[in-house]
Amino acid sequence: MRLVQYTTIDGSRRVGRVSDDGNHLHPLDKTSSVLELAEAAIAEGTSIAALVEKRTSKATVDYDELLRDGRVLAPVDHPEPARFLVTGTGLTHTGSASARNQMHLLTHGEEAEESDSLKIFKMGLEGGKPGVGKIGIQPEWFFKGVGTCVVPPGADLPMPAFAKAGAEEAEIVGLYLNGPDGHPYRIGYALGNEYSDHVTEGENYLYLAHSKLRSCSIGPELLVGDLPEEVRGHSRILRDGAVVWEQEFLSGETHMSHSIANLEHFHFRYPMHRRAGDLHAYFFGAAVMSYASGVKTAPGDEYEIQAQTFGKPLRNRMVSVPDEGLVTVTQL
């Protein structure tokens, strides 16, 4: 079961269930947001899937038309964007470890000592899947931003003037809502482009935090229910309509060094991450990235991330934004 948030021609919001053919949406009755749907599921002690079954209408909406018109929204959002925390982890896939280590070699040379990236990846292999009811090894973790950093499917991904690069990271994203008592509930999963500045990161690993403070995109579809053990997809870069880089990615727990439950534990163990009513988007890490292949992206490049499990592809174009110059602070 997959859901899409969108706006109608008059600007009102709706949630639609993706049809069997993948090209149409069945609007849900009396449902204007996935957040509202998740809150109702918690309040009624039921699942989102059960509510969707009750609310699915027979009407149909042209899904491709919504995408062309730019009326598809991110799979979840919050009316107070500051209450939507966007975070992530890395070095959780075999591909991500080799890609991150390649970045290390590109910067520091073949004779460099084993990178911290490889060390933490090996720690994940040894203790990232502890089994049901057990706590494993701690993964990498980073803060990406709040709801204002999430751009909708099809929207531009801004590259700040101070950025030294901008490139895709094709990932699966876990989406969560904390209930009234602070208990975290998983709403579902979506595709995401975590979009980072790998050149800045490569200069010094302590710049990782800075390199992640960029926009990202999630969607267009929300997968409700269990994530398959294996997810196969493709990440592409198109320039002037032609593919300049493409690579298959493998995800799902079969190809991860950490279980999703272990990643979730280390994220939600902090009380500040269990504030009632907050939304969370948690990027699970990238298996492949163009930067590790030596590709230099440019403004105007279009990123396309696709996996059959998640329906329609996620597409965004990178654009340069004007230089804001020196930012100063005024004393009160």
Structural domains in the chain plus CATH codes: 2-68 (no CATH), 81-320 (3.90.850.10)
- Residue 112: per-residue pLDDT: 61
CA distances from 249 to 82, 100, 236, 246 (A): 32, 15, 11, 10
Of 21, 6, 78, 12, residue with least CA distance to 312:
21
- Residue 96: per-residue pLDDT: 65
- Residue 264: per-residue pLDDT: 98
Residues comprising the chain, all counted:
332
Neighbours of 281 (CB within 10 A): 28
Q: Are strands 156-159 and 170-178 parallel, antiparallel or unpaired?
A: unpaired
- Residue 82: per-residue pLDDT: 98
Three-class DSSP category at 208: helix
- pTM of this prediction exceeds 0.85: yes
Q: How far apart are CA 5 and CA 88, in angstroms?
A: 23
**Distance separating the N- and C-terminal Cα atoms of the chain:** 52
* Phi, then psi, of 255 in degrees rounded to 5: -110, 15
- Residue 119: per-residue pLDDT: 87
Three-class DSSP category at 122: helix
Are the beta carbons of 305 and 153 closer than 8 angstroms? Answer: no
- Residue 52: per-residue pLDDT: 98
What is the token pair recorded at 59? 């009407």
- Residue 190: per-residue pLDDT: 99
**For every one of its 332 residues, what pLDDT tens digit does the chain have, with 9 covering 90 and above?**
999 999 999 999 999 999 999 999 999 999 999 999 999 999 999 999 999 999 999 999 999 999 999 999 999 999 999 999 999 999 898 766 666 666 555 555 566 676 788 888 889 999 999 999 999 999 999 999 999 999 999 999 999 999 999 999 999 999 999 999 999 999 999 999 999 999 999 898 899 999 999 999 999 999 999 999 999 999 999 999 999 999 999 999 999 999 999 999 999 999 999 999 999 999 999 999 999 899 999 999 999 999 999 999 999 999 999 999 999 999 99
